[in-house]
Chain A
Amino acid sequence: MRKPLPAWVDISIMPLINIAAAFVVAGIIIALIGENPFTALAVMIKGAFVYKGALGYTLYYTTNFIFTGLAVAVAFHAMLFNIGGEGQAMIGGLGIGFIVLSLDPILPPLLVILLAIPVAAIFGAIWGVIPGWLQARRGSHIVITTIMFNFIASSIMVWLLAGMLMAPGQMSPETRHFADGVSLMQIHHIGNALGWPMARSPLNLSFVIALIAAVAVWVLIWRTRLGYIIRATGHSEKAVIYAGHDPARIIMIVMAISGGLAGLMALNEILGVQERVILNFTSGYGFTGIAVALMGRNHPFGIVLASLLFGALYQGGAELDFEFQTITREMVLMIQGLIILFSGALALMFVPAAERIYGKLASADRSSDTRKGEQNG
């Protein structure tokens, strides 16, 4: 007998089962190449959380995934599949570059930073709203247009960074360094200033901004009128029209918010760590955001947890590469791929079985309850 799973099982136990399944398969492969899978797991966990600075690196990756995961989730609530996070983040970074490179000689650093944060969101939003407009007013499918906009964004980056924005006197396609002080403060600097010695890591204030964004998205989707209309648009456009709203307008608003969140990812990379605009700073975080949103069930809380898992995988995975000569970066990529596969694409694989087990448990529970009732009666 199958019984639908209660919400808490769906958001807590099912993801754990999926991850466990992925680890089992990855463990078998690691055993096949002749390493001990348990040692490898220990190295990964230690590499992600324990050694000096590891947690900082994990949370730094987490920051990227929170932004891109939220971007995908917001659009998904309106049933829009935004796979353009990569491009929107690139353009967001470009926006930061424009504002900082043109203003840092004349304005104080703090002011430049305060200007750069909204500009990152605005540039990302513009890159999201154009496909949104094409979908809403012209019926071009958002999946196709956002993919194409990734390519356009990447070509623009190449053209600018290998051309007019390229720093002279070196060979990498990147801009000059930002002026001193124009960067989001790194957490270990703050910690050291407050008297808590911390290991050096790229974790910076954008992590805090990411957490604020997660709360803001939760408020927006579940506690505001606009959020209600967004969810309604996702369920039934006709109902929204009947209620007197324009779904096309909602689609554009949603894509602007989504693009803006993706654009904020550039804060972490450009303003927090690299302190210059470089090519490929997005490194696929925009695409991983899709898996993060899937795994987090499009809920900000779930997304933060999923981001933490992916952050730990990225950082702990690199540690595997350090520790074992036989485990190369391709192996690490495969382990990450397995986890994405099991928790994203195969997320529902274990649901029927779980429902059956849950059904059995629940009915056993009920029959014992009734028996108890009879005795009392």
Chain B
Amino acid sequence: MKFSLYKTIITAISGLFLIGSITAQAADIKPAVIYDMGGKFDKSFNEGVWNGVKKFTEETGIEVMEFEVTNETQREQAMRRMVDRGATIVLGVGFAQADAIAAVAAENPDVQFSIIDVFWLDAPNLRQYAFKEHEGSYLVGVAAAHASQTGKVGFVGGMDISLIRKFACGYVGGVKSVNASADVFQNMTGTTPSAWNDPAKGAELTISQIDRGADVIYQAAGGTGIGVIQAAVDSGKLAIGVDSNQNGIAPGSILTSMLKRVDVAAYETFMDSKNGNFTAGVQMLGVAEGGVDWALDENNASLITSEMKAAVEQARADIISGKITVHNYESDSACPY
């Protein structure tokens, strides 16, 4: 008797809470983002996400909870903590968080999760963003081939993983589509996560490519890329930026940047969640979806000839229409160009 009374009270109270939470859900969401080890001000990948988060906060006035991980165990811990603190949507940044988000998403079916640069997971409350970096790289490859005087261009990657080879392969495709006999030198900085943050080595690799005749160097190397850009600028050559719009780092010396709109992914995740449009599944963002692009602004206007611009825009249109299919390295671990 006593027990059932207790139960009734509990039910009544939880019922009240339930009503409260339903009315609350439509009005406000509690978003959270977990940056990875690079840190949110890495001038590249994490910072791109931060830009999207900032835009969301500015437009909606909703504060986003943030955390930067410092060791392996913290990824999962941070996600759990965000859920404990009432997060309704948690955004993970980078493929290193894939394991953690899979575990925490399975335990919390009522919370929405989203992760960038992952496409191989499967959960009903998890959205995954993957980018067709090969398409964007193809575009900057076309630009590089037009800008090169020597017919030799370079590529400096960060960590040697299939994701970065995908950048390299698309780039080679773009270069060769303009000048089939062009040389493309390729170097990877290393095989570990520290390769994302080694500007000194990035600069060395760039100088060696320049010594071999390269005059346009594309980098997809996170924090290492700053060294690549610096070395190219110091030698009077051209660099191509990546992820964020890096044209402004050295105006007049950066031909263009391959934009990977992780900011769009972050912004869209939170916006969809806010408006009740959140869906699970994989979002593949290519040129057609506005997920990847090349950067044109006042910093590089003087470097872009009208002929170059026309060629890149043509390639862009052809990719959208399906006339050109850029090979995706990850589909077969090979590059046909």
Contact = CB atoms under 8 A, between A and B. Distances in A.
B98 A278 contact: no
Interface string B146-167: 0000000000000011110000
A241 B193 CA distance: 49
Contact of A170 (B74, B85, B95): B95
B192 A171 contact: no
B80 A171 contact: no
Contacts of B275: none
A245 B65 CA distance: 62
B179 interface: no
B315 to A, nearest CB: 28
Contact of B67 (A171, A200, A269, A322): A322
Contact of A280 (B72, B74, B160): B72
B120 A329 contact: no
A293 B37 CA distance: 28
B72 A283 contact: yes
B120 A170 contact: yes
B96 interface: yes
B72 A321 contact: no
B80 A283 contact: no
Contacts of B67: 321-322
A274 B162 CA distance: 24
A172 interface: yes
B314 interface: no
Q: By CB atoms of chain B within 10 A, which of A51, A162, A163 has the most?
A: A162
B192 A202 contact: no
A251 B39 CA distance: 43
Given A171-B95, A173-B193, 7 more contacts: A53-B80, A162-B192, A171-B162, A279-B192, A279-B193, A318-B77, A329-B70
Interface string A251-282: 00000000000000000010001100011110
A52 B72 contact: no
Interface of A: 51-53, 57, 60, 158, 162-163, 169-173, 200, 202, 269, 273-274, 278-281, 283, 318, 321-322, 325, 328-329, 333
A333 B70 CA distance: 10
A60 B163 CA distance: 34
Nearest to B81: A322
Given A52-B84, A170-B95, A279-B192, A322 B72 contact: no
B305 interface: no
Nearest to B84: A52
5 contacts: A158-B192, A170-B98, A173-B193, A283-B70, A283-B72
B77 A172 contact: no
Contacts of B84: 51-52
Contacts of A328: 68
Given A158-B192, A171-B95, A322-B65, A57 B72 contact: no
B70 A173 contact: no
Contacts of A169: 120
Interface in B45-76: 65-68, 70-74
Main DSSP-derived SS at the A contact region: loop
Contacts of B70: 283, 318, 329, 333
A171 B161 contact: yes
Nearest to B41: A328
A154 to B, nearest CB: 9
B160 to A, nearest CB: 8
B191 interface: yes
A281 B77 CA distance: 15
Contact of B163 (A171, A173, A281, A333): A171
Given A170-B120, A318-B77, A325 B66 contact: yes
A162 B191 contact: yes
B283 to A, nearest CB: 19
Contacts of B71: 280, 283
B95 A278 contact: no
Across the A-B interface, give the 10 residue pairs with the lowest CB-CB distance, nearest first.
Answer: A162-B191, A283-B71, A171-B161, A158-B192, A329-B68, A171-B95, A329-B70, A172-B96, A278-B72, A273-B73
A57 B162 CA distance: 35
Given A170-B120, A328-B68, A57 B191 contact: no
Interface string B185-203: 0000001110000000000
A281 B95 contact: no
A173 B158 CA distance: 14
Contacts of A269: 72-73
Contacts of A333: 70
A173 B191 contact: yes
Interface string B137-148: 000000000000
Nearest to A325: B66
A173 B96 CA distance: 9
Nearest to B40: A328
A61 B73 CA distance: 10
A281 B85 CA distance: 27
B114 to A, nearest CB: 18
Contacts of B191: 158, 162-163, 173
A169 B330 CA distance: 10
Interface string B73-101: 11001101100110000000001101000
A145 to B, nearest CB: 23
Interface in B256-308: none
A297 to B, nearest CB: 27
Nearest to A61: B73
Contacts of B81: 322
A228 B70 CA distance: 41
Nearest to B76: A202
A163 B80 CA distance: 32
A269 B72 CA distance: 10
B80 A274 contact: no
Given A171-B95, A280-B193, A322-B65, A57 B77 contact: yes
Nearest to A319: B81
Contacts of B192: 158, 162, 173, 279
A283 B71 CA distance: 6
A60 B72 CA distance: 13
